[in-house]
Amino acid sequence: MAHAPRGTAGLGRVSGLCLAAAGLVVHLGTAALTLGWTHSVEKTVWEEDWRLTEQGLVIAEARVKGSGAGMDPAPDARLIDGFWRWTPSLPPQDTVVMRRSQAVADWYLCVEGACRPLERLVPQAADPVTLRACDRP
């Protein structure tokens, strides 16, 4: 699985990425990560590499293992190692909101190649879960 580099140097007033859900704030200790999930209909893996910049959260790459039911790769996607990969044209975001459902597998997060389900970080019932910059203490 792809992973993104750590580090928060040069990020001014923020100290990396945090998850916020159900009144909890979880410091992830990184400025870059991979978000992944399995599509509810196609049962296909979708992953996105996000990194924190001074402008906000930037998506570095999206990739999907297959296509169909709203999971079409971008026209400029390239097939590499079984995944269709591309760089989405999306401006920096303040937050990334993840919705959860008992009907599908939970999201997972990967930092430096170590992946874990979202439920290990915030309660399964917490919905939505927001990825955002952490404020420096």
- The ranges assigned to domains in the chain are 14-110
Q: What predicted TM-score, i.e. pTM, was given to this entire model? A: 0.84
Could you read off the pLDDT of 96-117 as tens digits, one per residue?
999 998 888 899 999 998 999 9
Residue 52 and residue 92 in contact, taking contact as beta carbons nearer than 8 Å? no
Q: How far is CA 99 from the centre of its chain?
A: 12
pLDDT tier at 12, thresholds 50, 70, 90:
low
pLDDT at 1 over 70: no
Lowest mean pLDDT among 60-64, 89-93, 133-137: 133-137
Task: State the Cα–Cα distance between residues 100 and 129, nearest whole angstrom.
Answer: 8
Sheet holding 56-64, edge to edge: 78-80, 83-86, 56-64, 45-53, 32-38, 108-111, 114-117
d(CA 45, CA 136): 34
Tell me which DSSP letter residue 69 carries: T
Q: What is the mean pLDDT of the chain?
A: 86
What is the Cα–Cα distance from 32 to 50, expressed in whole angstroms?
A: 6
E strand intervals along the chain: 14-21, 24-27, 32-38, 45-53, 56-64, 78-80, 83-86, 95-98, 108-111, 114-117, 129-135
Per-residue pLDDT tens over the stretch 71-99: 678 889 999 999 999 999 999 999 999 99
